[in-house]
Structures are given as C-alpha cells and as structure tokens.
Structure 1
Amino acid sequence: MSTEQPATPEAPEPFRLVVLTGMSGAGRSTAANALEDLGWYVIDNLPPSVLPQVCALAQQSEISRLAVVLDVRTRTFFEQLPTMFTDLNAVGTLPEILYLEASDDVIVRRQESVRRPHPLQGDGRLLDGILRERETLATLRAAADLVIDTSSLNVHQLTSRVAHAYGGPDNDQLRVTLVSFGFKNGIPVDADLVVDVRFLPNPHWVPELRPLTGLTQPVSDYVLGQKGAEEFLDRLQDLLNVMAGGYITEGKRFATIAIGCTGGKHRSTAMAEEFGRRLRAQGMATKVLHRDVGRE
C-alpha cells in the first residue's frame, strides 16, 4: 500500500492591481510595456468608474496581476477616482499607485520631439498644459506607493526600475531603490527618504582620488574608513528595518532612499554601494542607482 500523501495544491497567487499614472510625457507607455513584458495584464485609458467590474472579471478569469493606465485623457477622471477607490476597498482590492514624474523642461522637450499637443494645453502654451496637469495630479501623486522621476532616465533605465519594483513575486517584502546624488544638482524628487553624507571628508581634495569615483576600491576604502561612516550605515540600516515593517503593514512595498554628497561622485556613491551590499546580505531586494556619477 502506498504511503505517499497527495500533493497539497499551491495557494493561488493573490490578486494585485497597479494603477499606472503620472505626467504626460513621463514614460507611461514605456512603463506599461515593461509591466506587460513582466506578465502583467495591462489595460490603457480605462474609465475609472468601471475598474471594480474589470477587477472582478480579471479574478474570475484567473488573472492575478492587473495594471491599468489612467490619465487626464479620461473625462471626469478625478471626479470618478474617490468612488473607484471606495468600491475597490469594499471588495478587498487595495490598488498600488505607480506615479511617473518628470521636470517641466524634460516634458517640454519630449512633447516637442513627438510633435503632439499636451492633453490639457487647449489654446494655450505647452507649458500651461503641463502646469495645469501637475496641479490636477498633485493629490494623486501624494497618495502614490511608488514615484519614479524619469527626467534623467532612458527607456532601458525606466524599464529596469519597473522590473525591480514589479518583476518579483508578491511576498510582502519591501523593495528598496538607493539613489546616490549630488546636492548641487538638486534632491531627487522621487525620494521617500533623503540622507546627507557630506559630514565625511571629501575625496575630491585628495589628488590621487579626485579623478576616480565611489565605484572604485580606493575611493570606497577611503570613504568607509572615515570615522562615523560605518556607524552611520549601521544606524541607517536599523532605521530602514523599523520603517520596513510599517511600510508593509500600510501596504507600501517600495522605498526610494537618496544618499547625497556635494557632487554625487565620491562619498554618496561609495556609501550607496556599501549600503546596498548590506541590504542584499540581509535578504532585502535592493537596486542601486547613481544619478550624478557621470556629471562634471
């Protein structure tokens, strides 16, 4: 007689809904294509009022990951949003909001390159439409689970950011993006937390280190060997571990941490690389980006 136990059926993958929105010209089409390549079922320009019914149909069809692109092309877009979220919450679906951002000058350049008017431009200037859209989207941006500033990203970099955030299984783990930057070039607008490492001595003033970056071993050794560097990373790691539990409880799966020095070439780069190594060693999904390392 066989003593083998019947295989336990795998639990169905929990249903996830991503609302992809943001500024016109910030890369929604690229992000939507990336999600589709990752196996998400993507619907573009859907009226928000029918989204609860679409989610119900998706689950009946055993679609576990649904992404919906919403923007101001949809009439009465924002009038429908409160009702949409209320109806979704009533059936136990908590949407994740992915918001794409870009600076005004970048959006102007992108819109002009494709020779398309802005959806809110009307008879005014292109910049008028951008400013009107930014004001209209402000509340939704504030509620976003993940904001990605695409101003300095190319298509491949944006695709990589989306893949990092949405390519893995939903295992209630915080996914972290570390961004090194230089304060002289401005603070990343998509950061959830900004930390300043300008308290460390600057390798820029060491002649043999000046032409190098924090991605090289000599600069990394110099920065991490300074008093307070390792202790700072210890405290930052403790802080993130506390935040991670709260983020997951609140349904937020993503965190973008910006680490800044003066120019973004030496200290912030070395510290971001080391912090990323630490987080990956403890099993946290982590991606490290260096916004300003190639700038003069």
Structure 2
Amino acid sequence: MLPAGSGQLVVVTGMTGAGRSTAAKELEDLGFYVVDNLPPTLLRDVVRLVDENRGSQQPIAVVVDVRSGSFFDTLQVNLAEGATGRQATLVFLEASDEVLVRRQEAARRPHPLQGSDRLLDGLHRERKVLAALRAEADLVIDTSSLNVHQLTKRVAQAFGTPDTMRLKVRVVSFGFKYGIPVDADYLADMRFLPNPHWVPELRALTGQDDDVAAYVKGRPGAEEFLEQFLPVLETVAEGYLAEGKRFMTIAVGCTGGKHRSVAMTEEIAARLRARGYDVRATHRDLGRE
C-alpha cells in the first residue's frame, strides 16, 4: 500500500526526437521536480531524496532515454508498484521514422545508436530496445503530427491540475532611469500621470502608502487607463495559455519607480487577482532613491 499523500511519479521515455525535452519542460512548469537522463537504478534514490527535502507530495518526473543503455533492464523493477512508495505513470513518446529523421537532420545531431551507419539504422535499433517499454506504457503519445504547443497541451491535460494550469502573473514596478526589466512580456508607462514627487507631503512616501495610492489613482486618466488596460492583459493572458505559456511578466514604469509605478502595480495586481489570476506584485527599484 502506498503512503497517504504520495505525489505523482511520471517516467518519460520514448524515441529520440519525439519530444521528451518538451514534455519535461512542461512538467517542470506544472510544478514537477524534473530529472533528465536518469539511470533507472537511481530512481528510488531520487524519490527518497525528494521526499526527505521537499515532502512526499512533491510530484516528480524523470526522463529516461536510450543513452541509459543496459540500465533499461532494471526499469521495470524500479517502476513496480510500491518500489518507490509512489504509483508510477510511464509515458512513451513516439513518432514515425520519416518525422524523426526530419527532426534529427534539422537538429544536425547524430542518433545515439547510429554509430557509423545511417540515421534510420539508429532509429530501428532504438525501436527494438524500447519495444517492451512501449508495450507497458500507461500513456503513449504519437507526436508525428503535433507541434511543440500541441504536445505541451497534451502533457498539461494529462498531468496538470486546475492550480498548476493557471497563468502565473508577475507585475513589477520599475524606474525608467534604472532601465527597463529585460524579462518583461508587457510594458506600461505611468509617466503620463502627475508625479507625487512634486507634492511636498507625498514626496517622502511611496506608492504603497494609502495617500500616494489615492493621489495616483485619482488623477485624470488613471481609471480610464486601468479600465482599458486590464481587458488587453486578459486577452494576452488567454493567448499565452492557448500557446502553452504559463508565466507572464508585466512591467509598470515611472521615472524613479517610487510613486506612480508602485501604486499602479499594486492596483493592476489586485484587479487581476480579483479576476482569478495567480498574481504576485514586486517592486524592483523601490528604495533605491
């Protein structure tokens, strides 16, 4: 019997070029602790270390490929129910020879089992090595006709939860004089609003103070901006999710990153949060002046 609260254990394997790296990246975005190219003999050790350091509810995904060689002989034993204390799900990714050859040639990388022969020979050897695993796989995904986004969506549908599949939004305030955040997906400029710096009683305060926030949001154009900007962000967010992107950074700037951008960042974050998004507000340049 498995311990109560045991997290998922997903083992990803399959043909070279079938999308193992894409699947692993999506599982990582879904909150899995991912280990690539793991020898199956180390599977129990990885689960034990994760359980000890992150807790038994932390989902784990391991990627095993043909480079593991003879280690494949022990994979079935290590995947047996109860062997790791978790119920394992074996995912096998495959594609047609024609598609795999095209992908490998585009990547300009030799097949690990090709040797001095043709690429197709390497693929045939790999299919033979992996035949038993494919037969026992819990989930087989043929990626021949799937692009990266479609494969990502398939993995998310199989292993995502309502929480992990939500868009995670980071709204960050900044000062233009310190440079634009390089990781921004969307940029908003608050310098069209009057600067509280020139109001003596507000100068020493920040956008996190109620008086400054009320001043900024009460200026002409502020509410109109918010009412028009939020629907744009929601449209972009829906598109990101459709394309398999689950992280979005919105940069909100003013001159020094102290008053206007801070107040509007907090307001944008609050309104997005009220709409059901997973939002975190940060202030990059607050305190630099």
TM-score of the superposition, structure 2-length normalised? 0.52
Partner of 1:119: 112
Cα deviation digits, residues 131-185 of structure 1 (max 9, x gap)? 1101111110111111110000000000000010010279xxxxxxxxxxxxxxx
- Asked if structure 1 preserves the Cα contact closer than 8 Å seen for 2:7 and 2:58, the reply is yes
Residue 67 of structure 2 corresponds to residue 50 of structure 1: no
Structure 1: stretches of 5+ with no match in the other structure: 1-10, 171-296
- Which residue does the alignment assign to 1:100? 93
* Structure 2 residue 169 is the aligned partner of structure 1 residue 164: no
Residues matched between the structures, number: 159
Structure 1 156/90 Cα, relative in aligned 2: closer, same or farther at 3 Å?
Answer: closer
Q: Which residue of 2 aligns with 1:278?
A: none
C-alpha distance in 1, partners of 2:65/2:116?
Answer: 20
Aligned to 2:63: 69
Which stretch has the larger CA shift, 15-24 or 89-98? 89-98
**TM-aligned CA distance change 1:23 to 1:37, over 3 Å:** same
Equivalent residues of 1:49, 1:83 under 8 A apart: no
Deviations 1:57-97 (A, max 9, x none): 111221520000001111323222233234x6345322100
For 1:96 and 1:48, how far apart are their aligned partners in 2? 14
Match of 1:188 in 2: none
**Separation (CA, whole Å) in 1 of partners of 2:148 and 2:159:** 16
Distance, in Å, in 1 between the alignment partners of 2:121 and 2:65 is 17
Aligned-partner residue type, residue 129 of structure 1:
G
Work out which of the residue numbers 64, 72, 77 in structure 2 matches 1:78.
Answer: 72
Q: Distance in 1 between matches of 2:77 and 2:125?
A: 23
Match of 1:129 in 2: 122
Amino acid at match of 1:22: G
| Code of the aligned partner of 1:157 | Q
Counterpart CA distance in 2 for 1:161 and 1:66 is 18
SS of residue in 1 equivalent to 2:11: strand
Distance in 1, Cα, partners of 2:137 & 2:162: 20
Question: For 1:24-55, what per-residue CA distance to the aligned partner results, in whole angstroms no more than 9, with x for missing partners?
Answer: 00000111111111111110011111111111
- Asked if the contact 1:71/1:77 (under 8 Å) is kept, the reply is no
Work out the CA distance in 2 between the residues paired with 1:73 and 1:139. Answer: 16
Alignment partners' CA distance in 2, 1:145 and 1:82: 13
Larger radius of gyration: 2
Q: Following the alignment from structure 2 to structure 1, what is the Cα–Cα distance between the partners of residues 43 and 12? A: 13
Distance 1:97 1:127 in 2: 25
Contact 2:44 2:83 in 1 (8 A): no
The 3 A distance-change label for structure 1 pair 151 and 112 is same
User: How does the TM-score come out when normalised to structure 1?
Assistant: 0.51
Q: 1:153 aligns with which of 143, 146, 156?
A: 146
- Which amino acid in the other structure matches residue 97 of structure 1? L
Which range moves more in the overlay, 42-51 or 52-61? 52-61
Distance 1:16 1:75 in 2: 25
Query: Root-mean-square deviation (CA), in Å?
Result: 2.1
Letter of the aligned partner of 1:104 in structure 2? D
For the residues of structure 2 that align with 1:97 and 1:163, how far apart are their CA atoms?
15
Aligned residues of 1:34 and 1:162 also touching (Cα < 8 A): yes
Identical amino acids, percent of aligned pairs: 60
Partner of 1:99, secondary structure, is strand
